[in-house]
C-alpha cells in the first residue's frame, strides 16, 4: 500500500508511464495527455489503491503565450484513503478535451463553466453551452486577453419591470496601493526584511 504521496506517485507512474508527477507543498499533481484523461480518471476512481471517487473541481488556467494556452485542472478526493490529487492537462481553444462526465457525472457544470469562462471545448459533453454569462454574450471573460471595457451587462430593472442592457462600468479605477502608508497598511505587521528599499 502507498503510504506516502511519493509512493502513490510512483504507483501511478508505474501504471501510467506517460504521466508526469510533481510533488510540491504537500500536494501531488499528475500531468497527463488530454487524450488519456477518461481512462486515467476511470483508473484513479476504480483502482483499489487510489479510490479517488469524488471529483471536487474542474477549472481552467490561461497562459496566452503558449501554443496550447490552457491548463485544464481537475481535483479529486479519496475519502477511504484520505487523500487528494490534482490532475492537469494542456489544451488549446480549437481541439476539444474529452469530457469525463462518463466517469464523474458531477463534471457536467464544471466543464460548462470552463467552456463559458475560457472557451475550452469538451467533446462528448451532452449539453456544452454557457452557464454563467448572459444570453448572446460573446467572448470568454477569464481569458487574460479579454478586454475590460466595451461590453454590456444585462440586469433586471425592477422599476421598469424589464431586462435592460447597460455598458459595463468599473466602479473603482485602478489604484496603486502603498502598504507602507499608515493609512492603507496591511493588517499584519510588515517585518523590516520583507520590504525592498527603493
Place of cell 477518461: 38
The string of pLDDT tens digits covering residues 139-167 is 899 999 887 777 777 788 999 999 888 88
Q: What are phi and psi of 16, to 5 degrees?
A: -135, 85
Rounded to 5°, angle at Cα 80 from 112 and 22: 65
Q: In the predicted model, what is the mean pLDDT of residues 34-56? A: 97
Place of cell 500536494: 27
Q: What are phi and psi of 118, to 5 degrees?
A: -120, -20
* Residue 187 in this model has a pLDDT that exceeds 60: no
DSSP 48-107: TTT---EEEEEEEEE-TTSSS-EEEEEEEEETTTTEEEEEEEEE-SSSPEEP-TTT-TTH
Q: Which of 101, 133, 106, 136 is nearest to 117 (CA)?
A: 133
What is the pTM for the complete model shown?
0.78
Q: Which of 147, 87, 137, 91 is nearest to 114 (CA)?
A: 91
C-alpha distances in Å from residue 58, one per residue of 99, 115, 163: 11, 11, 32
The string of pLDDT tens digits covering residues 102-118 is 999 999 999 999 999 99
Amino acid at each position: 500500500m502507498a503510504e506516502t504521496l511519493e509512493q502513490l506517485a510512483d504507483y501511478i507512474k508505474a501504471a501510467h508511464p506517460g504521466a508526469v508527477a510533481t510533488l510540491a507543498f504537500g500536494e501531488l499533481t499528475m500531468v497527463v495527455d488530454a487524450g488519456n484523461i477518461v481512462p486515467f480518471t476511470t483508473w484513479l476512481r476504480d483502482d483499489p489503491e487510489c479510490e479517488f471517487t469524488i471529483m471536487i473541481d474542474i477549472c481552467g488556467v490561461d497562459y496566452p503565450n503558449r501554443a496550447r494556452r490552457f491548463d485544464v485542472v481537475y481535483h479529486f478526493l479519496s475519502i477511504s484513503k484520505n487523500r487528494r490529487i490534482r490532475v492537469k492537462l494542456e489544451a488549446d481553444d480549437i481541439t476539444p478535451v474529452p469530457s469525463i462526465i462518463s466517469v464523474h457525472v458531477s463534471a457536467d457544470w464544471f466543464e460548462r463553466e470552463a467552456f463559458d469562462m475560457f472557451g475550452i471545448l469538451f467533446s462528448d459533453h451532452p449539453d456544452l453551452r454557457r452557464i454563467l454569462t448572459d444570453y448572446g454574450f460573446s467572448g470568454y471573460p477569464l481569458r487574460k486577453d479579454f478586454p475590460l471595457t466595451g461590453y454590456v451587462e444585462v440586469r433586471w430593472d425592477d422599476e421598469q419591470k424589464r431586462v435592460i442592457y447597460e455598458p459595463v462600468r468599473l466602479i473603482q479605477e485602478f489604484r496603486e496601493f502603498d502598504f507602507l502608508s499608515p493609512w492603507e497598511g496591511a493588517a499584519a505587521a510588515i517585518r523590516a526584511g520583507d520590504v525592498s528599499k527603493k
